[in-house]
Amino acid sequence: MYTNSTVLLTGVGAEGQVGEVVAQGFAQLGASLVLVDRALEHVQARAAVLTASGHRARGYSCDLSDADAVATLAGQIRAEHGDKLRALVHMAGGFGMSGPVAESAPSDWSRQLTINLTTAYLTTRAFLPLLRGDRGSLVLFSSEAALPGANAAGMSAYAIAKQGVAGLVRAVAAEEKAHGVRANAVAPTAIRTNANVASMGANVDYVEREEVADVVMFLCSERASAITGQLIALS
């Protein structure tokens, strides 16, 4: 299905995170994977696991909040993998409480917008030309906190950043329709990752990583060719 196609995945670094399972899913469908994470040793370890199983994967490190660094990465990937991407799945980001608005720190506000929204914007902006080349699909990660009626108390910065991701997807879907590029976002509740289990415990009603991966791969597939500009809730 993805033979001779390139898929770029960000946030594929630490073991036990959702990106690990998404990468395995695309690899099993024959994709050539470009994996990106801030920590080079982590992303190279994930790529090594895949290549040891006979799949094609290369790892790159990048600070996705740095516009110049992202532009450099895009140029490198174009030079080494060609000018076409079948899919871009941006999973880099992170959760953090900011506390009540009246008592919150501006630094917490800035950090949440930077790691969740600015990285999504810069990555999308840099790689849209490659998605156009293969009429590809973009999937971003929003959150249940961004859905109407969600309780955002104590996490206003995170919720607003993830609402921004939803708005970014709607804009890209409208702007890129003529180029054949589709854009959607998933909005999961807490996912069963190593980091979440360590901080919240095992007895939580998590969304399983495999469930998230199934939805992401569906949104990138030809079966979802009519779906764009949507925010898909996962709980």
- Distance between CA atoms of 76 and 68, rounded to whole angstroms? 12
Burial track 62-82 (b if 16+ CB lie within 10 A, e otherwise): bebbeeebbeebbeebbeebe
Residue 84: what pLDDT? 97
What average pLDDT does range 188-209 have in this prediction? 90
What average pLDDT does range 53-63 have in this prediction? 98
**pLDDT tier at 76 (50, 70, 90 boundaries)?**
very high
Residue 41: what pLDDT? 95
- Distance between CA atoms of 227 and 235, rounded to whole angstroms? 20
Q: Which of 175, 192, 193, 195 lies closest to 183, judged by CA?
A: 175
CB atoms within 10 A of CB 106: 9
Asked whether the beta carbons of 69 and 44 are under 8 A apart, the reply is: no
- Distance between CA atoms of 138 and 143, rounded to whole angstroms? 16
**pLDDT tier at 2 (50, 70, 90 boundaries)?**
confident
Task: Tell me the pLDDT tens digit for each residue of 123-156.
Answer: 999 999 999 999 999 999 999 999 999 999 999 9
Asked whether the beta carbons of 4 and 83 are under 8 A apart, the reply is: no
- In the structure, how many helices (H) and strands (E) does the chain have? 8, 7
- State yes or no: pLDDT of 1 exceeds 90: no
pLDDT: which is higher, 228 or 235:
228
Residue 14: what pLDDT? 84
Residue 52: what pLDDT? 98
Q: What is the mean pLDDT of the chain?
A: 96
CB atoms within 10 A of CB 40: 13
What is the set of domains in the chain, with CATH numbers?
6-234 (3.40.50.720)
The SS3 assignment for 4 reads coil
pTM: 0.96
Query: Of all residues in the chain, what percent carry a pLDDT higher than 70?
Result: 100
**pLDDT tier at 188 (50, 70, 90 boundaries)?**
very high
Query: Of all residues in the chain, what percent carry a pLDDT higher than 90?
Result: 91
Asked whether the beta carbons of 177 and 228 are under 8 A apart, the reply is: yes
